[in-house]
Structure 1
Amino acid sequence: MSKSLFQKPIEIKISTVVAVSAILSTADRIALDAALAEMTGGTADFFEDDLTVIDVAALPSGCGQIDWTGLIALLKKYRLNPVAVRNAPPELAEEIAAHGLTLEPANAKREEPEPVPKPAAAPAPVAVAAAQAQPPAPASNGTDVMIIDTPVRAGQRIYARGCDLVVTAVVNNGAEIIADGSIHVYNTLNGRALAGASGNAQARIFALNMSPELVSIAGVYRTFEDGFPTEYARAPAQIRLVGDRIDILSVNTANRA
């Protein structure tokens, strides 16, 4: 008898999915386009078709009607994949649904502050932050740390929900590691590292051999198109958030970049 006869046609399981939040402070597409162009620095695969939640909580009350078709097209231009809208008034539910987006309810009482990230160089009217899409499964099995002992390969994404992330193997270019807490890489850190993904500005990123493409703390990004600062590259270093600035420090000294 064929083995396929004993297989279920479909199974539904809880999975961990990571999205980004596009936090708008203007509905002006020209301003948004300029801000995204500055943020990505012309890197075509900066976002790699990341699932995106459009957050409109920061839009001023007099900003006028949102051009959803134009906004969706703009985000897709930068390889952001809009799937939902957060903090929109209920009367927009039908309009939002007509554009294939899900309406997430406004959270009047948030236990954690929503990060308002920006590129390290200058403020911008659009912010893109690492955020958690629901419903995630606990990643740490009741502990405060997730430990990865195998290399993180290009195209692979690891998310340590509600805990720190420890990686003892190399994180390759094109890989992405995310944690709600701090990130510790006891090897070479290439690729992207996003700590404090749920808004923890005290989180840090540590690596014995630091050479990332992009880092983020609580949604504030810094990219390294021209390479990681020479004095810290390929050496033990840490990354922290000071105000709205990403700082790079040696693990053993107070020097910073």
Structure 2
Amino acid sequence: MSKSLFQKPIEIKISTVVAVSAILSTADRLALDAALAEMTGGTTDFFEDDLTVIDVAALPAGSGPVDWAGIIALLKKYRLNPVAVRNAPPSMAAEIAAHGLSLETATKPREEAEAATPAPVKAAAPAPAAAPAAPAEGFPGNAGVMIIDTPVRAGQRIYARGCDLIITAVVNNGAEIIADGSIHVYNTLNGRALAGASGNAEARIFAMTMSPELVSIAGVYRTFEDGFPAEYARSPAQIRLVGDRIDILSVNSANRA
């Protein structure tokens, strides 16, 4: 009998999805356009149609109506794909829904957001539209860590949701590793490494040998088009976030770049 007779028309399963966060401190499209242009350096494929959550917690109170159609079009111009809005007050809900965006529950009070002074827009490092579960070789060492014992190949993405990520093999160019906690690579780190993906600014990235294309902590990123700093490339190093700056330090000293 044909297999198709037993196949369900649709199945719904839990999937891990990673999205870019676009944190707005202004709704001025000209200012946002200028900030994104500077951020991407004119590179048309800087973002790759990444799913994007627009965070409006940092918008000043009483800043007036938001041109949702204009902001959506602007983000799409830079190949960001808006799918939801985070931290929106109830007064915005109907208009947001009318533009086909989902609403995420607020995670911090507006007063707290107003106390911060972020840049006009801060986008997290480019993230996959859908990150698959860890491969069969990966397993949770305990409740706070995921361990990968095999090389992470080009095109492969690993996401350690809610925990640290430990990799004992090489991370190849073109691979992407993501963790809500810290990332530890006891080998060579190439490709992209995104720690603190859920906003943990205390997360760090450690590697025995550093040669990444891009690193990110809590949405703040740094790229290495000209290569990783030579003084740190052949020895154990760590990457941490200090304010809005990505710092590189030797694991064994206070030196940094």
Residue 48 of structure 2 corresponds to which residue in structure 1?
A: 48
Residue 203 of structure 2 corresponds to which residue in structure 1?
A: 203
**Correspondence 1:48-67 to 2 at 5 A:** 48-67=48-67
Identical pairs, percent: 85
* CA distance, structure 1, for counterparts of residue 188 and residue 11 of structure 2: 37
Residue 121 of structure 2 corresponds to which residue in structure 1?
A: 126
Structure 1 unaligned residues grouped into runs of 5+: none
* CA distance, structure 1, for counterparts of residue 237 and residue 133 of structure 2: 31
Residue 253 of structure 2 corresponds to which residue in structure 1?
A: 253
Aligned residues: 247
* CA distance, structure 2, for counterparts of residue 187 and residue 77 of structure 1: 38
Say whether the 8 Å CA contact 1:117–1:218 is kept in structure 2. Answer: no
SS of residue in 1 equivalent to 2:240:
strand
Say whether the 8 Å CA contact 1:140–1:161 is kept in structure 2. Answer: no
Note the C-alpha offset of 1:148: 1.5
**Correspondence 1:229-240 to 2 at 5 A:** 229-240=229-240
Q: What RMSD, in angstroms, separates the aligned Cα atoms of the two structures?
A: 2.9
Say whether the 8 Å CA contact 2:205–2:240 is kept in structure 1. Answer: yes
- Could you give the per-residue CA deviations for residues 100-143 of structure 1, whole angstroms, max 9, x where no partner exists? 11122333569xx98x999xxxx630012379x9xx99984852
- Could you give the per-residue CA deviations for residues 140-180 of structure 1, whole angstroms, max 9, x where no partner exists? 48521111223323333221111110112222223221111
* CA distance, structure 2, for counterparts of residue 209 and residue 107 of structure 1: 36
* CA distance, structure 2, for counterparts of residue 28 and residue 180 of structure 1: 31
1:167–1:42 CA distance, 2 compared to 1 (3 A): farther
* CA distance, structure 2, for counterparts of residue 218 and residue 245 of structure 1: 11
Structure 2 unaligned residues grouped into runs of 5+: none
Residue 74 of structure 2 corresponds to which residue in structure 1?
A: 74
User: If the length of structure 1 is used for normalisation, what is the TM-score?
Assistant: 0.85
- Report the AA paired with residue 196 of structure 1: G
Say whether the 8 Å CA contact 1:14–1:137 is kept in structure 2. Answer: no
SS of residue in 2 equivalent to 1:18:
coil
* CA distance, structure 2, for counterparts of residue 164 and residue 106 of structure 1: 25
SS of residue in 2 equivalent to 1:17:
coil
Residue 161 of structure 2 corresponds to which residue in structure 1?
A: 161
Say whether the 8 Å CA contact 1:45–1:79 is kept in structure 2. Answer: yes
